[in-house]
Amino acid sequence: MNAKIYVTLKTEVLDPQGDAVRRSLASLGFERVKAARVGKLIELKLDETDRTEAERAVRRMCEQLLANPVIEDFRFELEPSS
């Protein structure tokens, strides 16, 4: 299985990196960008063919390492390895 994990800051958490992106875009002339948030995309290759097992493992990886539950949310997608 391959996993794509999206880790984003919770809505109520300030995002200085996102604000810097918005300001940089504005200075390049992209003034119609009203907000920017920066998160992480983590792609994993798993040696696991069972979707339920893979889902359980990825959820635990997110909770234990990949996301900080205090300030971040996560979601993920699984697809069979090609």
Interacting residues with its own copies (CB under 8 A): 6-8, 18, 21, 24-25, 28, 30, 32-48, 57, 60-61, 64-66
Closest separation in Å from C-beta 53 to its own copies = 9
Q: Are 73 and 49 in contact (CB under 8 A)?
A: no
Nearer to its own copies, 45 or 80 (CB): 45
Helix (H, G, I), strand (E, B) or coil at 71: coil
The DSSP 8-state label assigned to residue 47 in this structure reads S
Closest separation in Å from C-beta 34 to its own copies = 5
The upper half-sphere exposure of residue 42, i.e. CA atoms within 13 Å in the direction of its Cβ, equals: 17
